[in-house]
Amino acid sequence: MKKVLTAIALGFAALAASAQAWPTGKTVTIVVPFPPGGSTDLIARQLANELPKKLGGGTFVVDNKAGATGTIGAAQVTRSPADGYTLFVSSLGPFVIAPHLIKVPYDALKDLDPVSIAVQAPNVLVVPAVSPHKSIADVIAYEKANPGKMTFASSGNGSSDHLTAELFWLQTGTTGIHVPYKGGGPVMTDLLGNQVESSFMNINTAMPQIQAGKLRALVITSAKRSPLLPNVPTMEESGIKDANVYSWQAIAGPKGLPADIKKKLHDAVVASLNDPAVKPKLLELGFEIVANTPEQFAAYQAAEYARWGKLITSRNIKAD
The pLDDT score that the predictor gives to residue 73 is: 96
pLDDT tens digits, the chain, 320 residues: what are they? 555 454 454 444 444 444 458 999 899 999 999 988 889 999 999 999 999 999 999 999 999 998 888 999 999 999 999 999 999 999 999 999 999 999 999 999 999 999 999 999 999 999 999 999 999 999 999 999 999 999 999 988 899 999 999 999 999 999 999 999 888 889 999 999 999 999 999 999 999 999 999 999 999 999 999 999 999 999 999 999 999 999 999 999 999 999 999 999 999 999 999 999 999 999 999 999 999 999 999 999 999 999 999 999 999 999 87
pTM recorded for the entire structure: 0.89
Sequence-distant (≥ 6) Cβ neighbours of residue 262 within 8 angstroms = 84, 113, 115, 253, 294
Q: What backbone torsions phi and psi does residue 200 show, to the nearest 5 degrees? A: -85, 85
* Cα dist from 195 to 26, 127, 128, 152, 189, whole Å: 50, 11, 9, 11, 9
DSSP state of 94: I
Peptide bond into 23 cis (omega under 30): yes
Equal fold, 2-120+247-314 vs 122-220: yes
To the nearest whole percent, how much of the chain has pLDDT over 90? 86
In the chain, where are the structural domains located? Answer: 2-120+247-314, 122-220
Q: How many CB atoms lie within 10 A of CB 274?
A: 12
Q: How far apart are the first and last CA of the chain?
A: 63
Q: How many CB atoms lie within 10 A of CB 151?
A: 15
Per-residue pLDDT tens over the stretch 31-89: 999 988 889 999 999 999 999 999 999 999 999 998 888 999 999 999 999 999 999 99
Question: Cβ distance 163 to 316 under 8 Å?
Answer: no
Q: How far is CA 48 from the centre of its chain?
A: 17
Q: At residue 76, what is the residue type?
A: Q
The pLDDT score that the predictor gives to residue 2 is: 52
Sequence-distant (≥ 6) Cβ neighbours of residue 7 within 8 angstroms = none
Q: Which of the listed CATH numbers 3.40.50.150, 3.40.190.150, 3.40.640.10, 3.60.15.10 matches domain 2-120+247-314?
A: 3.40.190.150
CATH class for the domain made up of 122-220 = alpha beta
Q: Where are the beta strands (DSSP E) in the chain?
A: 28-32, 60-64, 86-91, 112-128, 151-154, 177-180, 198-202, 215-220, 246-254, 288-289
Q: At residue 193, what is the residue type?
A: G
The pLDDT score that the predictor gives to residue 320 is: 72
Sign of CA dihedral 103, 104, 108, 109: positive
DSSP codes, 113-147: EEEEEEEEEEEEEEEETT-S--SHHHHHHHHHHST
Alpha-carbon span 86 to 65, nearest angstrom: 13
The pLDDT score that the predictor gives to residue 8 is: 54
The pLDDT score that the predictor gives to residue 184 is: 84
Q: What backbone torsions phi and psi does residue 279 show, to the nearest 5 degrees? A: -55, -50
Sequence-distant (≥ 6) Cβ neighbours of residue 152 within 8 angstroms = 165, 176, 177, 178, 179, 196, 197, 198, 199, 200
Beta bridge partners of 288: 120
Q: How many CB atoms lie within 10 A of CB 54?
A: 17
Q: Where are the beta strands (DSSP E) in 6-92?
A: 28-32, 60-64, 86-91
Sign of CA dihedral 308, 71, 279, 302: positive
